Structure 1
Amino acid sequence: MKYRTRRTALIILAALASLATVSCSEKNDEPDEPVVRELRFLQAFPDGAEHDPFAPPQPTLHDVLERIWEATDDARVKGLLVRVGPLQGSWGSVGDLVEALGEFREDNRPVHCHFETADNVGYLLLASSCDRISMSPAGTLDLIGPAAVMIYARALLEKVGVEAEIIHMGRYKGAGDMFIRNDMPPEAKQSMDAILDDLQGALLSATQLRTDGDLGRAKALIDQGPYGSDAAINAGLVDAVGFLRESREEIKTAAGVENIRRTRMLPKQEQLTLGQFLGLLSGEREKPKSSGERVALVFVNGNITDGESDARGNAVAGPFVRAMERLENDENVKAVVMRINSPGGSALASDRMWEAARNLADRKPLIASVGDMAASGGYYIASAAGEILAHPNSLVGSIGVVGGKFNVAKLAEDIGINTFILQRGKRAAWSTPVRALNPSERKAFETLLRDTYDRFISRVAAGREMETAAVLAAAEGRVMTAQDGKALGLIDEMAGLSEALHKARAAAGLGPEVPVELWPAPKGMLDAINELLSGNGEDDARTLQRLWLRQHPLATTLPLAAWAETLRVLAEEQVALIPPYLFTVR
């Protein structure tokens, strides 16, 4: 496999060799005259700064924020035209877009928005940030309110001969309930009802901006969705129905300019020089070095896993710990922002990452910024920061532990497999999947989970400087919106990434012009090819599995990738810090 990978990389290099003499300089085509910038928010953006150079290009949330910040700082940009699409479940991170567009509008520069199809989160952005909203004649406005579908599959597992043995620490920690129950427990319904109430409240507040503050009218409009263009304009949810060409003319008139320019959402791509090409062939790759006073922005995205090599889409303990140690010891890094968008994962990895973050926080300002979610292991790491910022609809908490295994003994028997267990040691075979836990093993496992839970509580208490009793009041595995978390002391302020960077600079005594170092650094094609050649990249099989699950037809309505990752963590480590239930709210 490794030889095939290396051969593939060499073929790619050969194809790129024809570009090796291309100059790295680019013509600056930025206009000097006043312009309107056109931005595209056509899908939910992944958090972080990493791109897959071999996949169709897709901007990250950080890329999009950078484009808005650049427009805000450019006096030549007199207005924005924002094209909006379905933003799916990005209830928390949409607040970063609202925050950034609000900063642009502070100078009384107009922001017009146009969409073909928009959903709940898309309309939250439209109503909160746009001076004018237009939609295409054949467009759809899917303003219907949030919903969550909870699935319980114990009966299915029993039919195929599988028994899930899952133990929770925390009354609300129901991550394994889908495998061990056929109905929704009252604790899960209570938590989900609270989350849905908060999300509905946010959508109502945004819709009220279109109803002159009439709450009853806003509720009725949501209940009457979805909308075609005629119904949407008659309801006052949009200002105009027309094509994109007409929206472009409207914003030029409102901004008083003659030109509108479409903004490239992705960073400029690096170009391959002859020296870089030869360096790759020789196995050398010069790493860019940051210098001068700066702040660092560290992304913690995806499932938290233990290991020592990078894995795109996951937060891996080893690379994170090494990065935090480097930033801690770099005297020119004056402050650090951790951007967290993670449901948790490995208990061991979470504790390693907490310790690295805590050590850094003892020496320089460390601020945590929550995207859509910092739950369970994600919140575990966030609690090491001196301050935690989140948007009201970000999901936080889930301070609890889950562990267990799957017993496939009946399935094995039904399909003709006979198993024989030989062991030395009273509990040597406790994790085997072909028999159930005995009472002694279950008691020992519960003790292991209790120790992990107590450690979780103590880490949060130390990081948040809270009494243990106060942490316990917010714990029991309950996931909540950040606005509820703030009332319990889990969150310091309702704010996004822009404000977190501002606070970091201010805490370090730095001005707004000070640059930001990103980690993990954006990787271009050269980096990806170098990883293929060196054999240091992520596991190919896991990458293909993750991509397949994301492209599966059911992935639009069910969190298939999250379920698969939960099973993997439980199989490999038995003890996990993951949310109490796996769901998608749209």
Structure 2
Amino acid sequence: MKSNKPLLIGCLIFPLILVFAFGVGFCSGFQKMSKGTSVPSNAWLTLDLGGTVPDYNELQSSGLLGSTVPATEDLVKRIIHAAKDKRIKGLLITPGFFDINYVNLDELNRAIQTFKKSGKPVLAYADVLSQKDYMLCAMADSLWLNPSASGGILLEGTAANILFYKEALQKLGIKMHVMQSGDYKGAGEPYTNTELSAGTRENLERALKARYEGIITNIAANRKINPSTVKKVFEERDDLFISADYAKEYGLIDHAGNWDEFCKHYNITKKSQVRIKNYQPHTTVEKQDQVAVVYLSGEIAMDLGSPFKQGISSAKTQKIVKSISQDKSIKAVVLRINSPGGSALESEIIYQQFKDLGRQIPVVISMGGTAASGGYYISCAGQHIFADAATITGSIGVIMALPETKELGSKLGVRSQTIRFGKFAAPINLFETYDPEILASFRRSSEAVYTEFKQRVSDARQIPLSRIHEVAEGRVWSAQDALDLKLIDAIGSLEDAIAKASSLAKISDYSIRNYPSQTTLFQVLREEGIFSTAGTLIKTRNTDPAEVMKQTLLNGFSPQEWLYRCPWHLE
């Protein structure tokens, strides 16, 4: 019989080689990162953003897998530092179809306005611009656009697209039981309706219109033109892409010219450009007093699963709260919340954690792009709530949906039989008809969970419980509407929230410390175990058709938990 010894030896040696290669690569990347890029005199700091720009990076860039896109928090810090850096001559904006939420775009705008106060120029050049690319470039002192007919600016406005599955599910033999509290929650409508209900549509239109008007106001202010002119461009132009000539005629740009002409005009050379992701500001010394800024971004979930996935869980926030509580130098906390919500139970636990922390030190809320449903629930733990002008918030309601696939199973030849002892044994089986008592029980639970949500809002905002329905029922709100309804205290930036927190803590000389603490890829693999992490990444899924179908249907709505989740993505 042939020996398997060589194979076994190979299996043992290969992981060791992998670990060694990883270590060498990591050290090499770390050295490059540590050295940074040398900055020549009279350098142009290039804001060449592409891809998705997050609120905050929990994973440090090691250089091993290439530099990560700097987060908004990091970009703001680098731009403001560059204003005082004598080596930096000016700021050069050259975006490439990057994606960022409108609140973070406002944060970049504030940083660039601060940079301008130094007297240094801010220039922008592009061949073609998306809406967010253009809004970033509009912040410049001078904006150039390539005159080529294949270039241009794409200004779209705002929109929300909803797909409805009711008829498709009926044809497949799938029935959705939706339990929701809040007449405007709307998350279940794609499964039960063929179009939005009148109330849900009206609410979404109001929120979208507020964002649309905000975009127009933003462009008009940065370009110093009349808002009516900008609105005309959005609504009355003939072509989808705006040509350089049209853009110049309406004041959207300053010059039409190609890259070489642009560089020659301002004497910009390749050697004089420093990419912002390679620009390393000097490390500042922490002061005796600290204000902690806690970034809570993404969906709220019980188990984040992969160590590489960013999100919000009570396990993560518990570590943060413990660290802050034990550090006597931290005098106040700002929660920067950008979340559409998620698990109701996790939202309650996280709310309690920060509510308890607020009994020790001030806790102030700064809402990011979206702080809705579970995101708003957590916000109720704060003593003062700020929202950016572009924030979407509210969505005070609860939902759960149960798919029933008995008819589909019959079509496929799948039968299910359950043997039970106990009234509520095995209550959920997709391939059987649900007991009416189970559905009635879920509906009662829905009302109880919704009542708890409303109570949290009533307590936090001092709104009588009898009037909560006026601001709840699942409606989403713009920042201005939320202010008018007393769901927030003020419209302001992250900087405003930090200033408020320091004021409540009665400190004036302080530094900022960000949470969660950043970690490296090496630390993640060390803590998780390199082989268990690799196993998680390459783990094969169950290929049984019935199981795959079941997991697909349960992917959006878990019958094991109630959801405080805003279903709408408004852009």
Which TM-score band applies after superposition, normalised by the shorter structure?
A: 0.7 to 0.9
2:527 is equivalent to residue 531 of structure 1: yes
Q: Distance in 2 between matches of 1:142 and 1:7?
A: 54
Q: Quote how far apart the aligned CAs of 1:424 are.
A: 2.2
Q: Distance in 2 between matches of 1:13 and 1:504?
A: 45
Q: Distance in 2 between matches of 1:24 and 1:342?
A: 35
Go from structure 1 to structure 2 and tell me whether the alpha carbon gap of 1:144 and 1:397 turns closer, same or farther (over 3 Å shift).
same
Q: Distance in 1 between matches of 2:365 and 2:15?
A: 38
**2:229 aligned residue:** 217
Q: Quote how far apart the aligned CAs of 1:413 are.
A: 1.0
- 1:89-238 mapped onto 2 (5 Å cutoff): 90-127=101-138, 129-138=139-148, 139-209=151-221, 213-223=225-235, 224=237, 225-238=240-253
**1:42 aligned residue:** 50
Q: Quote how far apart the aligned CAs of 1:402 are.
A: 0.3
2:350 is equivalent to residue 338 of structure 1: no
Q: Distance in 1 between matches of 2:310 and 2:43?
A: 37
- 1:380-391 mapped onto 2 (5 Å cutoff): 380-391=377-388
Q: Distance in 2 between matches of 1:540 and 1:78?
A: 47
2:26 is equivalent to residue 14 of structure 1: no
Higher relative contact order (CA 8 A, sep 6+): 1
**1:262 aligned residue:** 274
Is the contact made by 1:36 and 1:251 (CA closer than 8 Å) also made in structure 2?
no
**1:582 aligned residue:** 568
Classify the secondary structure of the residue corresponding to 1:86.
strand
Q: Quote how far apart the aligned CAs of 1:572 are.
A: 5.0
Q: Distance in 2 between matches of 1:87 and 1:299?
A: 21
Q: Distance in 2 between matches of 1:211 and 1:123?
A: 11
Is the contact made by 1:404 and 1:575 (CA closer than 8 Å) also made in structure 2?
no
Is the contact made by 1:88 and 1:120 (CA closer than 8 Å) also made in structure 2?
no
Unaligned runs of 5+ in 2: 1-9, 542-550
Q: Quote how far apart the aligned CAs of 1:470 are.
A: 4.7
- 1:134-533 mapped onto 2 (5 Å cutoff): 134-138=144-148, 139-209=151-221, 213-223=225-235, 224=237, 225-250=240-265, 260-265=272-277, 293-307=289-303, 312-511=309-508, 514-533=510-529
Q: 1:209-255 deviations in whole A, cap 9, x for unaligned? A: 478653432222112142133332233211112234444455569xx
Q: Which amino acid aligns with 1:519?
A: Y
Is the contact made by 1:311 and 1:539 (CA closer than 8 Å) also made in structure 2?
no
Size of the aligned set, in residue pairs, is 538
- Bigger CA radius of gyration: 2
Q: Quote how far apart the aligned CAs of 1:73 are.
A: 4.0
Is the contact made by 1:304 and 1:349 (CA closer than 8 Å) also made in structure 2?
yes
Go from structure 1 to structure 2 and tell me whether the alpha carbon gap of 1:251 and 1:13 turns closer, same or farther (over 3 Å shift).
farther
Classify the secondary structure of the residue corresponding to 2:277.
coil
> Percent identity over the alignment?
24
Is the contact made by 2:225 and 2:251 (CA closer than 8 Å) also made in structure 1?
no
Classify the secondary structure of the residue corresponding to 2:529.
helix
Classify the secondary structure of the residue corresponding to 2:519.
coil
- Once the two structures are overlaid, the 10-residue window that deviates more, 385-394 or 36-45, is 36-45
Q: Distance in 2 between matches of 1:265 and 1:528?
A: 22
Classify the secondary structure of the residue corresponding to 1:527.
helix
Is the contact made by 2:124 and 2:143 (CA closer than 8 Å) also made in structure 1?
yes
Q: Distance in 2 between matches of 1:31 and 1:267?
A: 8
Classify the secondary structure of the residue corresponding to 1:426.
coil
Q: Which amino acid aligns with 2:247?
A: A
**1:551 aligned residue:** none
Classify the secondary structure of the residue corresponding to 2:94.
strand
Q: Quote how far apart the aligned CAs of 1:112 are.
A: 1.7
Is the contact made by 1:150 and 1:583 (CA closer than 8 Å) also made in structure 2?
no
Q: Which amino acid aligns with 1:77?
A: I
Q: 1:401-451 deviations in whole A, cap 9, x for unaligned? A: 001210011111110111112222323343222234333222211111111
Pairwise CA RMSD: 3.5
2:557 is equivalent to residue 570 of structure 1: yes
Q: Which amino acid aligns with 2:429?
A: T
Q: Which amino acid aligns with 1:137?
A: P
Task: Using structure 1 for the length normalisation, give the TM-score.
Answer: 0.82
Classify the secondary structure of the residue corresponding to 2:228.
helix
Go from structure 1 to structure 2 and tell me whether the alpha carbon gap of 1:11 and 1:185 turns closer, same or farther (over 3 Å shift).
farther
Q: Distance in 2 between matches of 1:544 and 1:65?
A: 41
Unaligned runs of 5+ in 1: 270-289, 546-563
Q: Which amino acid aligns with 1:105?
A: K
Q: 1:174-202 deviations in whole A, cap 9, x for unaligned? A: 11111111111112211111122112211
**1:555 aligned residue:** none
